[in-house]
Amino acid sequence: MNKEEYLKDITEIKNMMNKSSRFLSLSGLSGILAGIYALTGAAFAYYLFEKSGRDYIILDSQVFRYILIDLFVVALLSIATAIFLSVKKAKKNNEILWNGTSKRLLTAFMTPLLTGGIYIIIKIFTHHYGLTGSLMLIFYGLALVNASKYTIGNVKYLGYIEIILGLLCAIFPGYGFWFWVLGFGAMHILYGSLIYLKHDRQE
Partner 1 sequence: MKNIIHNINKAFDHRIRLGIMSILVVNEFADFKMLKELLGVTDGNLASHTKALEKEAYINVEKSFIGRKPNTKYSVTKKGRDAFKKHVEAIEKLLKQ
Determine, following the binding rule CB under 8 A, whether residue 98 of this chain makes contact with partner 1.
no
Is the alpha carbon torsion for 151, 154, 160, 163 positive or negative?
negative
Rg of the chain, C-alpha, whole Å: 20
Determine, following the binding rule CB under 8 A, whether residue 88 of this chain makes contact with partner 1.
no
Distance of CA 118 to the CA centre of its chain: 17
Determine, following the binding rule CB under 8 A, whether residue 9 of this chain makes contact with partner 1.
yes
Determine, following the binding rule CB under 8 A, whether residue 52 of this chain makes contact with partner 1.
no
Residue 97 is given by DSSP the state S
Binding-site residue total for partner 1 (CB under 8 A)?
17
Instruction: Out of 3, 51, 127, 201, name the contact with partner 1 by CB under 8 A.
Output: 3
N-terminal to C-terminal alpha carbon distance within the chain: 30
Determine, following the binding rule CB under 8 A, whether residue 153 of this chain makes contact with partner 1.
no
Instruction: Out of 59, 100, 178, 198, name the contact with partner 1 by CB under 8 A.
Output: 100
DSSP, residue by residue, 57-69: --TTSHHHHHHHH
Chain positions contacting partner 1, by CB under 8 A: 3, 6-10, 12-14, 16-17, 19-21, 96, 99-100
